[in-house]
Amino acid sequence: MLKHTASEGIIKNLSNIPGWRTDRKLVVFESDDWGTIRTSSIEAVDRLTAKGIDFKSLDADRYSYNDTLASVKDLEALFEVLSSVKDSNNHPAVFTAVSLVANPDFNAIRNNGFSQYHYEPFTETLKKYPGCENSFTLWKQGINEGIFIPQFHGREHLNIPAWMHALKNGHPETIEVFNEGMWGYVNKFYDGRMINYQEAFNIHDPDEISLLNEVLEDGLDLFEKIFGYRAKLFVAPNSLFSNKIEEHLALHGITFISQAKLQHIALGYGRTRRVLRFLGMKNKWGQIYLNRNCFFEPGSAERKDWVNSCLNQIKLAFKWNKPALISSHRVNYIGGLNISNRENGLNQLEELLKKIIKLWPDVEFVSSDQLGSLIMDSKK
What is the per-residue pLDDT for 272?
85
Q: What is the pLDDT of residues 6-53, one digit of tens each?
A: 554 666 676 777 889 999 999 999 999 999 999 999 999 999 999 999
Q: Which CATH class is domain 6-378?
A: alpha beta
Does pLDDT of 147 surpass 90? yes
Calculate the alpha carbon distances from 282 to 264, 289, 323 in Å. 17, 6, 17
Q: Which amino acid is at 175?
A: I
What is the per-residue pLDDT for 1?
43
Among 161, 105, 154, 195, smallest CA distance to 187 is for 195
pLDDT band for 77, please (50, 70, 90 cuts): very high
Q: What average pLDDT does this structure show over 347-358?
A: 98
Among 322, 336, 282, 297, smallest CA distance to 68 is for 336
Q: Give the integer Cα–Cα distance in Å for 97 and 30.
A: 6
Secondary structure class of 199 (helix, strand, coil)? coil
What is the per-residue pLDDT for 305?
96
Domain ranges of the chain: 6-378
DSSP letter assigned to residue 116: S
pTM score, whole prediction: 0.94
Q: What average pLDDT does this structure show over 307-323?
A: 97
